[in-house]
Amino acid sequence: MEIETIKQLNQAILNKYNEPKERKIGRYYATDVNKMRRGDLTPENFFEQSKIDMKGVKNIFRGYAYENQLLKEFNELEIEQERDGDDQIKIEYDLLNDRIMNEGDEAEIVLVMKPDFVLPKVVLETKAPNKLRDSIPPWYLDQCEIQHRLLNKKVVMVLINTFDNDLDLLLGIEYKPSDIRWKNIKEIIKDFDNRLKICSTIKEEKEKQK
């Protein structure tokens, strides 16, 4: 790719973050659950590519940059943590049979989760926020609950604080697990999967009638 101007470079990065991502019925991500809960992700728009604008790119870019630097610090400090090379590890969970899947396993409903840093006794979910908070925002609670259940570890949200203040670089907020939330998460996914299958069947029938 030939780049001659900063405008072209910005557009190339924007295009990269908007590349289509494959979606499959029965395969859902931990970050999908809150979107299902709010109604932002529906059976009707499940296969549509969500548009990321430049503001979204900047948020993602900052998060990746901070996470990569934190990984470098962990490696240099020889802090034990799980990683797939430089990438997050991927955990796949068979929702209907309540089990962690091994490579090659199949399941009717799969919940996929990619934790940031899994240490021996704690999971660190890192965020690079636009402003500091003293509690975990509601839109991250499902994600934290899923990490706790699938890894059976304490989950701490880590705010990477690079603001101009006297607070520490890393600020931790511990997640409080909830049996009610976990039950609700599984119900939300199963209900969504059922409605998505019905929606897809209706769409296929309409296509056949054309």
Q: Which residue has the tokens 């910005």?
A: 10
Separation of alpha carbons 63 and 58, rounded Å: 9
Model pTM?
Answer: 0.92
Q: Domains (ranges, CATH) in the chain?
A: 24-209 (3.90.320.10)
Residues 145, 118, 114: CA angle, nearest 5 degrees: 60
SS3 assignment, position 94: strand
The token duo for 205 is 């029938």
210 residues of the chain, pLDDT tens digit each: 788 899 999 999 999 999 988 999 999 999 999 999 999 999 999 999 889 999 999 999 999 999 999 999 999 999 999 988 888 999 999 999 999 999 899 999 999 999 999 999 999 999 999 899 999 999 999 999 999 999 999 999 999 999 999 999 999 999 999 999 999 999 999 999 999 999 998 887 777 676
